[in-house]
Structure 1
Amino acid sequence: MVYLIRVPVEGSEPVLVEAADVADGIVRVARPGEVIAAAGESLQAALERLRPMAEAFVTQLSGLAHAPDEITVDFGVKVDAEAGVVIARTAAAANFSVTVKWNRAA
């Protein structure tokens, strides 16, 4: 069943996020499709906690002896009413995809 979590957005209306699984500690008093919880922090505050991780990827890969011309880091982000924004997982591992690209000089 799909439930909704209300996530505050600074300077804007809250965003509703689908939550297929309801975390322990949240009582399922709403009907499917209704708001069951409100996130404890704004989207901006939650995403700010991801910044050091993203910067670590860029810093480390840019520091290579032959630094890439492009760095792409993809990761799944999951919104949880209790934990805020977390990195989504696949099986027992975190979900990261890193692509680096070098352009050959003409």
Structure 2
Amino acid sequence: MTISITDRSDLLTPILRDLAERRLLFALSRFDSRVEHVEMVVEDENGPRGGIDKSCRVTVGLHRSADVVISDKDSDISKCISRVAERLGRAVSRAIARTQHFERERPAFFENS
């Protein structure tokens, strides 16, 4: 699993970048064999004017499945990253569950009853 973090507005300090990587690893570590790549893009949409304009978008490429994309906005980038990572874990779990098809057959001893 490769993680790519792009900061378009110079929002991420080394501590915030480390936080983002740890949050993503924690949320996706149990799906390590199914996740091919993770791309996070962080940007400040309004610049220095302030407000709820810091956005975080994460795209996860899954093996043999469609990409999962989660995005969020907040005035605090660390809260935004944490919330996106939390939602991402649940979304990837659902996407993987949808791709698993179980063909169940009845055991032979039930057919003669």
TM-score (norm 1): 0.31
- Larger proportion of helix: 2
Rg larger in structure = 2
TM-score (norm 2): 0.30
